[in-house]
Amino acid sequence: MARIIAIVSGGMDSVTMAHQLHTAGNDLHLLSVDYGQRHRKEHAFAAMAAQRLGAPHQIADLSAIGSLLRGSSLTDASVEVPEGGWTGFGSPNIVPNRNALLLAVAFAVAVVENAESVAIGIMADDFVTVPDSRPAFLESFIAMERIATEGYAHPDLDLLAPLAGKTKADVVTLGESLDVPWTQTWTCLRGLAEHCGHCAACGERQEAFEKAGVPDPTVYQVWND
């Protein structure tokens, strides 16, 4: 049984990853990071996952950094969350270097907890627009962390990305096999009372259920045109 610091935002991917790692018999410590994102309500769903899995959950409060991360709809109130998806670089829904930030915090916690691994829920779908989700980045990052924490961290320190070869539809299929309660996950970038059903993240959520052939139990906000 390995002790793992799992970065869990409360979204479908990271919650499914947490269930997967728990089912495999690992000792989990769930970590969420508040980097000033407008949809930080997702962390309440990470807490739900921790409670289900009997794992500790902490939120690292880096919210002050959000004011420095201008230009992203996730952290900059002056940038509207766009309707629909984005297929190339320059997406307003991306916070460049975010995964590097999350992982740096997680590895610091891993040292304190003497954890063997840090796990992050990136997927194959992320590789196109999120450079710090690609295999080359992950390989470079763990190499750096082994140098940065030498003599302090667990000697077998590793970085896990168990969903890296999966699409979001694959994640739904996996989550179904693990009995993930989808209504206890959060995806929407707007952070409203209910999923908006119009942003890129909501669209990806809807498409994933459709492609997986699984009924979507999500309650979406009703918009009056």
CATH code assigned at 102 = 3.40.50.620
> What are the backbone angles phi and psi of residue 149, rounded to the nearest 5°?
-110, 10
In a domain, 222, yes or no: no
Can you read off the two tokens belonging to residue 155?
């000697």
Query: Is pLDDT of 185 > 70?
Result: yes
For residue 17, tell me if it sits in a domain. Answer: yes
Classify residue 217: in a domain, yes or no.
no
- More confident of the two residues 84 and 152: 152
Domain membership flag for residue 140: yes
CA 55 to chain centre: 17
Closest CA to 37 of 85, 101, 103, 107: 101
What pLDDT does residue 86 have? 60
Q: What are phi and psi of 56, to 5 degrees?
A: -70, 155
Residue 113 near residue 29 (C-beta atoms within 8 A)? yes
Position 20 in a domain: yes
Band (92; pLDDT cuts 50, 70, 90): confident
Q: What is the DSSP letter of 63?
A: G
To the nearest whole percent, how much of the chain has pLDDT over 90?
A: 81
| pLDDT for 90 beyond 90 | no
Nearest by Cα to 202 from 223, 178, 175:
223
Domain of 204 in residue numbering reads as 3-212
The mean predicted confidence, pLDDT, of the chain is 93
Amino acid at 225: D
Does residue 225 sit within a domain? Answer: no
Question: SS3 of 34, please?
Answer: strand
How many domains does the chain contain in total?
A: 1
Q: Is 220 inside a domain boundary?
A: no
pLDDT score of 125: 82
Is residue 60 one of the residues assigned to a domain? yes
pLDDT value of position 222: 76
Cα 156 to Cα 2, 117, 161, 206, distances in angstroms = 10, 8, 16, 39
Q: Output the CA angle 91-95-101, nearest 5 degrees.
A: 155
Supply the pLDDT for residue 85: 64
